[in-house]
Amino acid sequence: QVQLVESGGGSVQPGGSLRLSCAASGSIFSIGAMGWYRQAPGKQRELVAIFTADGSTVYGDSVKGRFTISRDNAKTTVYLQMNSLKLEDTAAYYCNADWIAPAGGLTSIWGQGTQVTVSS
């Protein structure tokens, strides 16, 4: 079992930048991939970026070239650097982690979310 806590959300003007952080606690030695998802009002939750267990990264098409995901050496914290923000980036951003249970099963763990609002 792990707990994920996001931080760094806020309001910013179009073209601005924000950096989100997600810190994991609990059974941190059993964490695999970590990533970010977002959900805007009236829209389905979508993939933003993933940092896999083997160190590769995957980005959603809508953020490719503007957002960068990174992870600390201990693999307990994941970051999302967001540049050139657009109005369409306004959403609740959720951290996600794959957790390997003691019996060997894989479970997705979610943070509480942090709001990002882009407005002029």
Confidence check: pLDDT of 119 > 80 = yes
Contact (CB, 8 A) for 6 and 113: yes
Rounded mean pLDDT of 16-35?
90
Q: Please give the backbone phi and psi of residue 40, each rounded to the nearest 5 degrees, phi first.
A: -95, 155
Please state which of the ranges 29-33, 37-41, 105-109 shows the lowest mean pLDDT.
Answer: 29-33
Measure the CA–CA gap between 98 and 91, rounded to whole angstroms: 22
Confidence check: pLDDT of 28 > 80 = no
User: Residue 76 — very low, low, confident or very high, per pLDDT cuts 50/70/90?
Assistant: confident
Which pLDDT score, from 0 to 100, does residue 27 have? Answer: 77
Confidence check: pLDDT of 118 > 80 = yes
In the predicted model, what is the mean pLDDT of the chain?
A: 94
Rounded mean pLDDT of 86-107?
92
Measure the CA–CA gap between 9 and 19, rounded to whole angstroms: 8
